[in-house]
Amino acid sequence: MALTEAEISYLSTQPLGRLATVAPDGSPQVNPVGFRYDPELGVIDIGGHALAASKKFRNVAAGSRASIVVDDIVSRQPWQVRGVEIRGDAEALDGQDPLRPGFSAEIIRIHPRRVISWGVEPGQDGMTPRDVA
């Protein structure tokens, strides 16, 4: 499993993530996106209206890796935040889903390679980065 149960549970409560991709000229962009963690495949799938026409989709199709952060503010007084950042290899799918034969998909798919979470695990203090296979 790329993600822990606590991380998966947290992700399911959040309506948006923010996705970073890199243009071929090296400049980053970042956008709010809808996302879904697929526990069976161990990937993050990002959809959206007219996704294949978007710059983020073209960035990934051109070879960009991707990072998505899902985070929120639990309390302002005292200041308490939590979140998960997932970095990985990315695919721009606009046709058959290679991992789900017979299904079509227009998505950006992230294969997690590094995961960093904070405030998500019970008793978690500070940031916990780890590499995943």
- Residue 2 as a binder of a second copy (CB under 8 A): the answer is no
Q: What angle is formed at CA 20 by the lines to CA 16 and CA 21, rounded to 5 degrees?
A: 135
Window 79 to 118, contacts with a second copy (CB under 8 A): 81, 83, 85, 87
Which residues make Cβ contacts (< 8 Å) with residue 49, sequence separation at least 6? none
Q: Which is nearer to a second copy, 1 or 16 (CB)?
A: 16
Q: Pick from 7, 45, 71, 91: which binds a second copy (CB under 8 A)?
A: 71
CB neighbour class for 104 (10 Å; exposed up to 12, middle 13-18, buried from 19) = exposed
Size of interface with a second copy, in residues (CB under 8 A): 27
Q: Which is nearer to a second copy, 63 or 104 (CB)?
A: 63
